[in-house]
């Protein structure tokens, strides 16, 4: 069995644990002056960490446009995935020829259309034929409809959720945001699962005791703003052992979740404020806007993965740069490696 490799000495974790995650904290990655001078080293380190691991066998669902097929082959070229292409054979082969991509080394399972491709990929995941799924050119809803099917899907006892892993130039640590892609308006019990999924994921990538900030617009609890009530309840649930493995606090506004100065100014006494590893957003709309603002205004690089299913699901976007697509595949490989070791 392959062993997860530690990072070079200069990138070791400097927090309250001897565990070395695939990212550095502190001054190693001080914010640069511009996007051009920032190399997104944390995601590069994440990809490098996978060197020597057995690639994750991934069903690539309906890779029928250039970005999705290219993403799968890029990840294969880096040794992150071994793709199984699932979709209309003639369309995929014609696309590969037009893009001058060599797909001959890879298995291709033909289906008549995208819906059938999603159903077949999920069946393969359920039967253990593949270790991960990778979204192609179909809509996320179409794929997830098959994933969450009670009879034939990939559900577990945990709510399925999405997490972004952001490398933000202005932030001295990796930043996880959840859920900005799957759950539209989660209930309190669903937020509990979303929070636990993110904590477990943080452990997998090497953050031993993640600090979880449950976000709202304010840091005081008021019944007029239900997200503050949910945040307070989640904090208490963590105290009572209903959420485990991390420090959970909320409600916290975004500024005092990530800025020690803002937290001091507002006199917030919290083990999480100003140094959050995970941001739990109130709903999909706020999370989606936050993620895109970080990407387009802050030069952030956000890899993403779906958690809580029987296997990891890579959701790539046509707008993602190559590093982001590779980092998302690397996350799937690290999750698969953890499952292999279990």
Cα distance between residue 42 and residue 174, in whole Å: 8
Residues 319, 98, 105: CA angle, nearest 5 degrees = 90
pLDDT at residue number 40: 62
Packed helices 226-239 and 188-204: angle between N→C axes, nearest 10 degrees: 50
Name residue 163's beta-bridge partners: 305
Cα distance between residue 184 and residue 217, in whole Å: 18
Six token digits for residue 39 = 């190399």
pLDDT at residue number 43: 85
Per-residue pLDDT of the chain (342 residues; tens, 9 = 90+): 444 444 333 333 333 333 334 443 333 333 333 444 445 678 888 999 999 999 999 999 999 999 999 999 999 999 999 999 999 999 999 999 999 999 999 999 999 999 999 999 999 999 999 999 999 999 999 999 999 999 999 999 999 999 999 999 889 999 999 999 999 999 999 999 999 999 999 999 999 999 999 999 999 999 999 999 999 999 999 999 999 999 999 999 999 999 999 999 999 999 999 999 999 999 999 999 999 999 989 889 899 999 999 999 999 877 778 888 999 999 999 999 999 998
3-state secondary structure of 49: helix
Q: How many CB atoms lie within 10 A of CB 90?
A: 9
pLDDT at residue number 8: 36
Give the distance from CA 286 to its chain's centroid: 17
The 8-class DSSP code of residue 177 comes to E
CATH 3.40.718.10 residue spans of the chain: 161-297
Cα distance between residue 121 and residue 146, in whole Å: 9
Query: Cβ contacts of residue 306 below 8 Å, gap of 6+?
Result: 144, 147, 160, 161, 162, 181, 182, 312, 313, 314, 315
pLDDT at residue number 317: 78
pLDDT at residue number 44: 86
CATH 3.40.50.10950 residue spans of the chain: 39-155+309-341
Contact 154, 123 (CB under 8 A): no
Residues 141, 145, 147: CA angle, nearest 5 degrees = 115
> pTM of this prediction?
0.87
Cα distance between residue 318 and residue 58, in whole Å: 19
**Cα distance between the two ends of the chain:** 11
Q: Which CATH class is domain 161-297?
A: alpha beta
Domain 39-155+309-341 carries which CATH code? 3.40.50.10950
């Amino acid at each position: 069995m392959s062993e997860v490799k530690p990072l070079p000495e200069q990138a070791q974790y400097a927090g309250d644990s001897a565990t070395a995650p695939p990212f550095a904290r502190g001054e190693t990655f001080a914010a640069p002056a511009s996007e051009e001078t920032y190399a997104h080293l944390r995601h590069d380190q994440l990809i490098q960490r996978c060197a020597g691991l057995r690639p994750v066998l991934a069903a690539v669902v309906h890779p029928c446009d250039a970005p999705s097929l290219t993403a799968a082959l890029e990840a294969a070229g880096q040794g992150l995935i071994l793709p199984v292409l699932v979709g209309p054979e003639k369309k995929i082969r014609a696309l590969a020829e037009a893009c001058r991509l060599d797909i001959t080394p890879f298995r291709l399972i033909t289906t008549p259309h995208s819906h059938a491709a999603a159903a077949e990929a999920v069946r393969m995941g359920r039967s253990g034929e593949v270790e991960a799924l990778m979204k192609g050119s179909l809509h996320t809803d179409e794929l997830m409809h098959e994933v969450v099917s009670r009879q034939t899907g990939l559900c577990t006892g945990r709510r399925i959720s999405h997490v972004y892993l952001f490398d933000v130039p202005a932030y001295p640590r990796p930043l996880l945001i959840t859920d900005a892609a799957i759950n539209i308006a989660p209930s309190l019990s669903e937020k509990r699962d979303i929070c636990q999924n993110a904590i477990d994921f943080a452990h997998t990538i090497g953050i031993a005791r993640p600090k979880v900030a449950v976000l709202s617009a304010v840091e005081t609890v008021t019944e007029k703003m239900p997200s503050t009530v949910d945040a307070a309840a989640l904090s208490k649930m963590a105290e009572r052992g209903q959420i485990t493995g991390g420090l959970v606090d909320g409600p916290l506004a975004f500024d005092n979740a990530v800025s020690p100065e803002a937290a001091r100014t507002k006199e917030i006494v919290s083990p999480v404020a100003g140094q959050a590893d995970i941001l739990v957003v109130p709903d999909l709309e706020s999370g989606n806007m936050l993620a895109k603002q970080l990407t387009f205004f802050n030069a952030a690089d956000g890899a993403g993965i779906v958690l809580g299913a029987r296997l990891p699901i890579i959701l790539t976007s046509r707008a993602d740069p190559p590093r982001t697509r590779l980092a998302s595949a690397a996350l799937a490989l690290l999750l698969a490696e953890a499952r292999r070791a279990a």
